[in-house]
């Protein structure tokens, strides 16, 4: 009997509805590009970097075919700001990069978040710090993606796919959420999902995808519903003579700069609560064996693939093992860790990022175990050994290249 498993994501239903399409063997970068085109993306502005370069190349080919614009920006600061400008002008936009370029995007993030500009940012993570190893996967941007700008006073939405097919649907989802929540949405993918070739189903008719949230435009005051937590508010447009003002400063409903406690409060209320109060709209995850598991392996992105295989193998060997793969990384899905049991958190960094959130969410942080690795996915054997060790002794045994210390 296979263990009960669950995938909670809007594309479960989309896949049932879309029957006409093509089956291809394609790369993750191709799926991310096609997902964006299907979602109505008409501007890509970025700067080439491994392993996101192929997205730029695919975009340079695809966008002109659908009347869109490919911009090879002078750097990533320009790339994301161009996307923000294009989105303000009424076109859906996306940029894609990897760690070194991602770091340069922070002021564009802050500007886009404050001004409630919908757009999508792909970060194909590679191992670091800084340039690290170009062709190796990493998961070092879990926190950076959440705290994508200085200054605080905002929430962010971050999603992570673990297969080529999922990269396609999730990109559409990311665009939908960016429109609905009027904010940049980050796709944290990694070198493996980007470069890997897999089966990919893509619909024949993108125009007929009724689950794609279209771009709407707000033509009247208030331009910024400060003080409100409402979602599905149409974003502003520049260039239609509405008189909208968009700036880097704390703003009023009109968009004017203001230096007042009251305005700071109202803006923060908006930027934080439009996301916090609608968390349920953002729940996406996959689980296996959560009914009876004593020890649960946690992983996301490409790394979740070998980890899941290990969990299934462990169960076949009689261990009560479970698996959690958060697809929504932020806002963090605390509820997945509500039950008091052992959690083995596998992630591709040695410092421990995801594990800290699991420690915070789980009832007993002493039962949260860290299994950090860098530059290569966890092997099935490593995860099996860890699950077995935790089940029997409450500890992860010593393994080469595995780091278990968090503090």
Partner 1 sequence: MNPLAKKYLRPSQIPTKACHGCGIGMIENWLLQAIDELGLKQEDVVFGTGIGCVGRQTFATWGGDNFGATHGRALAVATGIKLAQPERRILVVVGDGDAASIGTSHLIHAARRNLGVTVICEDNMGYESTGGQFSPTTPAGYVTNSSPYGMVEPSFDPCDVVKAAGATFVAETTATQWHQTVKVVKKALQNDGFSFIHVRFPCNENFGAYALGTRDTLKNLEWIYEHTQGRKADGSETDFTWETGIKHDASNSRPEFTRLLREMNARVQSDLADKMAARA
Residues lying near partner 1 in the complex (CB under 8 A): 43, 45, 64-65, 67-69, 71, 73-75, 77-79, 81-91, 93, 107-108, 110-111, 238-249, 254-257
H or E segment at 288?
strand 285-288
Of 241 and 400, the one with the shorter C-beta distance to partner 1 is 241
Using CA of residue 79, residue 84, residue 90, residue 96, what is the dihedral sign? Answer: positive
DSSP string, 337-387: G-S-SEEEEEES-SS-SHHHHHHHHSS-GGGEEEEE--SSPPPHHHHHHHH
| CB 16, min distance to partner 1, A | 30
H or E segment at 124?
strand 119-127
| CB 23, min distance to partner 1, A | 20
| CB 270, min distance to partner 1, A | 19
Of 119 and 167, the one with the shorter C-beta distance to partner 1 is 119
| CB 299, min distance to partner 1, A | 36
| CB 83, min distance to partner 1, A | 6
Of 2 and 67, the one with the shorter C-beta distance to partner 1 is 67
Of 71 and 329, the one with the shorter C-beta distance to partner 1 is 71
Helix (H, G, I), strand (E, B) or coil at 205: coil
Within 10 A of 222 (CB to CB), how many other CB atoms are there? 15
Of 111 and 300, the one with the shorter C-beta distance to partner 1 is 111
| CB 266, min distance to partner 1, A | 18
Radius of gyration, CA atoms only, the chain: 21
Locate 171 and state its tokens. 């990109």
Locate 216 and state its tokens. 């709407």
- In whole angstroms, what is the distance from residue 310 CA to residue 198 CA? 20
- In whole angstroms, what is the distance from residue 242 CA to residue 161 CA? 38
Of 13 and 75, the one with the shorter C-beta distance to partner 1 is 75
Of 32 and 86, the one with the shorter C-beta distance to partner 1 is 86
- Say if CB 109 and CB 81 are below 8 A apart: no
331-364 in b/e form (b: 16+ CB < 10 A) is bbbeebbeeebbbbbbbbbbbbbbbbbbbebbee
| CB 65, min distance to partner 1, A | 6
Of 42 and 373, the one with the shorter C-beta distance to partner 1 is 42
- Say if CB 119 and CB 93 are below 8 A apart: yes
| CB 60, min distance to partner 1, A | 11
Which residues contact residue 314 at a Cβ distance below 8 angstroms, ignoring those fewer than 6 apart? 321, 383, 384, 387, 388
Residue 383 Cα to chain centre, angstroms: 24
| CB 152, min distance to partner 1, A | 17
Of 98 and 236, the one with the shorter C-beta distance to partner 1 is 236
DSSP class of 251? B
């Amino acid at each position: 009997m296979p263990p009960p498993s669950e995938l909670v994501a809007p594309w479960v239903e989309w896949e049932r509805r879309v029957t006409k399409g093509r089956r291809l063997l394609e790369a993750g970068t191709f799926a991310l590009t096609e997902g964006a085109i299907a979602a109505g993306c008409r501007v890509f502005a970025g700067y080439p970097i491994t392993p996101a370069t192929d997205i730029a190349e695919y975009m340079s080919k695809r966008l002109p075919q659908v009347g869109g614009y490919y911009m090879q920006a002078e750097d990533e600061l320009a790339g994301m700001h161009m996307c923000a400008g294009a989105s303000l002008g009424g076109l859906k936009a996306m940029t894609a990069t990897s760690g070194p370029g991602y770091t340069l995007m922070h002021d564009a993030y802050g500007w886009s978040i404050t001004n409630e500009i919908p757009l999508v940012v792909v970060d194909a993570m590679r191992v670091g710090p800084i340039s690290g190893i170009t062709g190796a996967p990493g998961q070092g941007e879990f926190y950076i993606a959440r705290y994508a700008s200085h200054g605080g006073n905002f929430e962010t939405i971050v999603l992570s796919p673990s297969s080529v097919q999922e990269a396609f649907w999730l990109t559409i989802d990311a665009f939908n959420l960016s429109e609905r929540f009027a904010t940049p949405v980050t796709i944290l993918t990694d070198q493996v999902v980007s470069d890997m070739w897999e089966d990919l189903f893509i619909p024949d008719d993108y125009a007929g995808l009724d689950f794609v949230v279209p771009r709407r435009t707000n033509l009247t005051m208030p331009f910024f519903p400060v003080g409100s937590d409402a979602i599905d508010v149409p974003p502003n447009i520049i260039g239609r003579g509405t008189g909208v003002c968009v700036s880097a400063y704390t703003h009023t409903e009109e968009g004017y700069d203001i230096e007042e406690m009251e305005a700071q409060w109202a803006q923060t209320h908006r930027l934080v609560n439009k996301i916090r109060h609608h968390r349920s709209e953002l729940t996406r995850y996959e689980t296996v064996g959560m009914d009876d598991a004593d020890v649960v392996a946690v992983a996301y992105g490409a790394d979740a693939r070998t980890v899941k295989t290990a969990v299934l193998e462990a169960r076949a060997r009689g261990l009560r093992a479970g698996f959690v793969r958060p697809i929504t990384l932020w806002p963090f899905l605390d509820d997945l860790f509500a039950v008091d049991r052992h959690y083995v958190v596998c992630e591709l960094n040695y410092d421990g990022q995801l594990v800290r959130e699991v420690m915070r969410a789980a009832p007993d942080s002493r039962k949260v175990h860290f299994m950090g690795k860098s530059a290569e996915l966890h092997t099935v054997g490593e995860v099996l050994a860890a699950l077995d060790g935790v089940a029997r002794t409450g500890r992860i045994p010593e393994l080469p290249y595995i780091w278990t210390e968090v503090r």
